[in-house]
Amino acid sequence: MNVIASPDTDLAAAARRVLPAGGFGNFAPEVIIREGKGGRVWDVSGKEYIDYLLGSGPMFLGHGHPEVIEAVQAQIPKGCTFFANNEHGIRLAEVLTEALPCAERVRFVSTGSEADMYAMRVARAFRKRDRILKFEGGYHGMSDWGLMSLAPKRLANFPVAVPDSAGIPKSIQEEVLVAPFNDLETAKAMIAAHHDELGGVIVEPFQRLIPPAPGFLQGLREITAQYGIPLIFDEVVTGFRFCYGGAQSYYGVTPDLCTLGKIVGGGFALAAIAGRADIMAHFDRGLVGDDGFLMQVGTLSGNPVAAVAGLKTLEILKRPGAYDGVLAYGRKMMAELAGLLKQRGVPGQVLGEPTLFDVVFSAEELRDYRAVMRADANIAKAVNASLRESGILKGDSKYYLSTAHDARDCDQTLSAFAKALASLPAR
């Protein structure tokens, strides 16, 4: 008897032959997506999912938004990349400077990791200091500097940095100081003690899922301004997600620099560093000379296909009421998920903002990485597995919402979550 392999098993076997760990290093390699439309995706076996992964966040308008597709299709026959200025990239930079309080100049790259790496580098070039202060649990890309105390399994005393990956030079640990998120007094003390060594302070204004405590971002702004240290907001995730002007507008705190990605590329490879003209001048040899010049070259930086996708995405998001539906959806989801936890008697809470949140299975106050790390990971794993079985696709620690999700998606998600809780062992 001949056995015909299904597309998913055949592809999975091919992936294991040619890819380390059988995947791209991103999401669970056993999930192989065939296509997406709106707020849903289908895998190669034909299974349909409500998509809260959204490509790790870029697809804020959902998959295949007709206006974005039309703009991209119009550009492709005219050229996919030029390694030179193009009108669409210039226009997108104009839009970003108009939208974001901190943005006087913009430099494009292709990934959020690059944006964060160059933001830290340009801050160091401006300050002529080598060290960077970041916050434990903050994600700032895949550079050696970014992969310090993102998710340390071995906790160290602050301000000691812990590398998250093999292959990082030990010397990098000496150049990164680590503070606890939402602990303003500790951060201020560290900055004051090391101010003459610091090139910059980088922070996710909304750290993974944790909102800033009242006054935390304002306090960081004040202490860094006091010492003339560039404050960098990593807005790769939050840029244009909470509101049109990003987290800096949402929380009312203006950094010196910010990094952008995900939404601003409309699903294509585009990211950016934006900020004060005097700091961004270090990308311009003519303004700062050879000694102050920061070299940055990227084959696809600002390529026109990504730029038109980003332009159209931001045009749509600027329209009156563009965020109303997704915010209402998110508020309803957060409230209903919390209600189901209470009804079932499962210790947990819904943490985040209406367009980006998750359920954390812990009863303690969740203000920083260490508190979130103490949550019950086994329950989270079981619930996420049950949700996937029920056709809900999400990452290990996030629901990314899109403007394409609707009431039917909400009802199906809540039903799947109730089922997942019901399958947990009795407490």
For residue 189, is it within any domain? yes
For residue 15, is it within any domain? no
Instruction: Provide the residue range defining the domain that includes 221.
Output: 66-318
Structure tokens belonging to residue 145: 């500097």
What's the confidence (pLDDT) of residue 127? 98
Read off the pTM.
0.96
Domain of 234, CATH number, reads 3.40.640.10
The total domain count for the chain is 1
Q: ∠ at Cα 163 (268, 58), nearest 5°?
A: 15
For residue 206, is it within any domain? yes
Cis peptide before 180 (omega within 30 of 0): no
How would you list the strands of the sheet with 349-353, edge to edge?
Answer: 349-353, 356-360, 399-400
Q: What is the pLDDT of residues 116-153, one digit of tens each?
A: 999 999 999 999 999 999 999 999 999 999 999 999 98
For residue 209, is it within any domain? yes
Which residues are catalytic, by number?
139, 234, 262
Res 48 pLDDT > 50: yes
For residue 265, is it within any domain? yes
For residue 227, is it within any domain? yes
For residue 309, is it within any domain? yes
For residue 84, is it within any domain? yes
Give the span between the Cα atoms of 76 and 175, in whole angstroms.
43
Res 15 pLDDT > 90: yes
Strand partners, 69: none
Average pLDDT taken over every residue of the chain: 96
Residue bearing tokens 């790790």: 56
Distances (CA, A) of 142 to 6, 27, 115: 35, 16, 11
